[in-house]
Chain A
Amino acid sequence: MSNDTPETRDKSGRFLSRAAEKAHDLHTVSDEGIHPMAKVLFGWTEAKNIGAIMFWGVGALGAALIVLDVFIQRHEYFGFANWTGFYGLYGFACFTFVVLMGWPLGNLLRRGENYYGDAGGPPADVDPEMPLPPESAQPTYEGDD
């Protein structure tokens, strides 16, 4: 930041750091094209540290459900299903297994987009006034980051 730009103050009179402001702008999506309901319904997903909040929040909820299981006498038809936390641990294990199998299976079964020679555009009944996709929407590799 150069020295010739005047410092700005916020309402409480503190100086605002321009660099921080710019950095903040970088990952705050502009209001352009944003539906007013988006903030109401899903604004919370933009919260700072949402990743950590979800991680600890859902983790704690899962742990609470397992702890609750300790105090409950369940009556299952299969003996092993009565073990404390059986459903939770089984769900966690199955989910993890399925997702991790995605790595080898993807390498084994994935071919080019036009493998069968019939790749093409969208169907005829899409929005005729559809905007062109932004550059950032070109094929990206979600999960790489």
Chain B
Amino acid sequence: MPAFLTALNPGWLMILAGVVAIFLPMRRVRQGITIAAPLLGIALLVMADQNVNHLTASVMGLDLVLYRVDGLSFVFGLAFLLAALLNSIYAWHTDNRLQDGMALAYAGAAIAAAFSADLMTLFIFWEITAVTSVFMVLAAGTRAAYFASMRYLAIQVLSGVLLLAGACYVYNNTGSLGMKAFVSLREPGAMLIFIALGIKAAFPFMHNWLQDSYPKASVVGAVVLSAFTTKLAVYAFIRMFPGQDALIWIGAVMTVFPVFFAVIENDLRKVLAYSLNNQVGFMICAIGLGSAGVGNALALNGATAHAFVHIIYKGLLFMSMGAVLYRTGTTKASELGGLYRSMPWTALFCIIGAMSISAFPLFSGFVAKSLTMSAVSREGLTVVWLMLLFASAGVMEHSGIKIPYFAFFGHDSGRRVKEAPFNMLLAMGMGAFICIAVGIPAIVPGLGYEWLYNLLPYREEAMSYQPFTFDHILTQMQLLVLATFAFIVLKRFGLYPPERPGTILDTDWAYRKIGFGLAQWMGTVWGKVGPAMTAVFLGISSRAYERIEAAFSPRGELARGALTGAMAIWTAALLGLVLLLAFVTVG
């Protein structure tokens, strides 16, 4: 392979192709590029040597590593490239230069960030993901999307600024920008970087940008958004904070709380956004296991495998809801139902995605989540393990049953629409294929789940793990079948809460209502106080001016003769007083 190709970061290739695509009016040529770029990227990645610095640079005394592949970044890079390929196929029916180009550049920035080995390069691509991804929300072209995109951008850029500040601290302290695992959060800059990553990973109370923007994005935009930002944060956490105890509890809380929001949310794309949160929680929890700065090999494998399969099945679920939105104009559960009659293929692919995310044996979620669950139980963390198991039943509720049931089955909405366009079905079919291909036992050695386990950063630990044990299949099936039975019982006895339209309040209420209200109130107050204060100042200053003028101007008091006389009298009186005092004191 030519030297320049070995040094070409697939992410850079994608960004370049994205920029070209923005200016390319010929639709099919542009779309050809959006499909060819990820394919070429995959080829470049597969051929690249691992653990070698392929491209380095020295800028203003900073040593930057612009392209380096290792076991961990390979998996994330590959998953991002596959997602970009599926997204391009999914978008084939559209004709939107900006969306095509920005989607490619966004994927490219995430890939380039994963292959950068220093904090400054990471920061640059971190910010590019923020700036390019906002166009996915803006592409929806609605008023709600515009406002959501501005909130999204502000929060994403804040994350970047915190990352930069943290990088500066690290450089100041160690003299190097290399990406190393922090042993303690007390190290200089560690906390800033932790929060920066936490924002992108949508930690509890920092999560609202996700539920706010993804459901308001365009049909294609939401699919693109679901793949990259949060998983890039997961990658960065594995790289920099393995074994941080705090992550265990943050992750466990992340898996549990979205479950409650998802059950009452009416917009199915928003349900998927909460579900995304819940899934990232599993990964974050896994990263926190083990000793600080090192982590637990089984759990880190679990987080990496989970990220890989999650990118595919979450993309698939967003694609299926995107297809429903494309054909019906809504994803509100209260307005949908019975769509399997019109869109049976979409329904089938959606069910495959739903079974994968619920971790049914023979689907991809099972082989990935098992690693994390085993690692948590081996560490003896009883409460955390029970929380994750609770969240697994929760996933079954909102993504496993609610999404397919309320869109495609249940009460017939009477909507008779066309099946999704062929390109959408093709992308969904490919996603569904990966979900099953990665989830099945390795009947042919090296294929099935072993293909994924072979790629994981701690390969030997992964290959010695056996997900398909009788115990494991039995317990997982018990959990899922009885959870499904609970759904049937609750439905049958009318205990399942009805899907009602409405807005569900989340913690973003604090800034969207109180914060915004406060800002508006301050604006109103300033609007009234400002002129009032100006008037007061004007009054005082004009009065002062008048007084001064009255005293000192040529026509003023001091210029008058009468005052001159008075001055003489006063001077005489003062002199007299001084003389008197002198006499008294001497005497």
B454 close to A (CB within 8 Å)? no
Instruction: Please list the residues of chain B having a beta carbon within 8 angstroms of any beta carbon in chain A.
Output: 94, 96, 99, 139-145, 147-148, 216-221, 259-260, 263-264, 325-330, 332-338, 340-345, 347-348, 377-378, 380, 382, 385-386, 389-390, 392-394, 396-397, 406, 408-419, 470-471, 474-492, 494-506, 512-513
A62-B482, A130-B329, A140-B335 known; A34-B497 Cβ under 8 A: no
- Report the minimum CB–CB distance from B577 to chain A (whole Å): 76
Please give me the residue from chain A that is nearest to B512 by CB atom: A116
Please give me the residue from chain B that is nearest to A99 by CB atom: B490
B396 touches A91 (CB 8 A): yes
A35 close to B (CB within 8 Å)? yes
Q: How far is the CA of A134 from the CA of B328 in the complex (A)?
A: 11
Q: Find B481's partner among A34, A61, A134 (CB 8 Å cutoff).
A: A61
Size band of the interface chain A makes with B: 35 or more
A8 close to B (CB within 8 Å)? no
Q: How far is the CA of A142 from the CA of B380 in the complex (A)?
A: 42
Q: How far is the CA of A45 from the CA of B220 in the complex (A)?
A: 30
Please give me the residue from chain B that is nearest to A55 by CB atom: B488
B481 touches A112 (CB 8 A): no
A-B pairs, top 4 by smallest CB distance, nearest first, are: A33-B416, A143-B498, A123-B140, A88-B478
A78-B382, A98-B394, A101-B260 known; A131-B416 Cβ under 8 A: yes
B263 touches A99 (CB 8 A): yes
8 A-B contacts (beta carbon < 8 Å): A35-B342, A58-B488, A78-B380, A92-B482, A95-B397, A110-B500, A111-B504, A139-B335
Stretch with Cβ within 8 A of B (4 or more), from A9-17, A18-26, A68-76 = A68-76
A62-B481, A111-B502 known; A35-B410 Cβ under 8 A: no
A37-B345, A90-B389 known; A124-B476 Cβ under 8 A: no
Q: How many A-B residue pairs have CB under 8 A?
A: 289
A125 touches B264 (CB 8 A): no
Within 8 A of B (CB), among A75-123: 75-78, 81, 85-92, 94-96, 98-103, 105-106, 109-116, 118-123
B488 touches A134 (CB 8 A): no
Q: How far is the CA of A104 from the CA of B344 in the complex (A)?
A: 35
A91-B480, A99-B486 known; A125-B94 Cβ under 8 A: yes
Measured between beta carbons, the chain A residues less than 8 angstroms from B343 are 35
- Report the minimum CB–CB distance from A88 to chain B (whole Å): 4
A131 touches B417 (CB 8 A): yes
Q: How far is the CA of A91 from the CA of B393 in the complex (A)?
A: 6
A38 touches B478 (CB 8 A): no
Q: How far is the CA of A68 from the CA of B471 in the complex (A)?
A: 11
Measured between beta carbons, the chain B residues less than 8 angstroms from A126 are 219, 325-327, 329
Measured between beta carbons, the chain B residues less than 8 angstroms from A4 are none
Measured between beta carbons, the chain B residues less than 8 angstroms from A74 are 471, 474-475
Q: Find B498's partner among A41, A45, A85, A141 (CB 8 Å cutoff).
A: A141
Measured between beta carbons, the chain B residues less than 8 angstroms from A96 are 486, 489-490
A34 touches B482 (CB 8 A): no
Please give me the residue from chain B that is nearest to A124 by CB atom: B141
A99-B486, A140-B334, A140-B413 known; A124-B142 Cβ under 8 A: yes
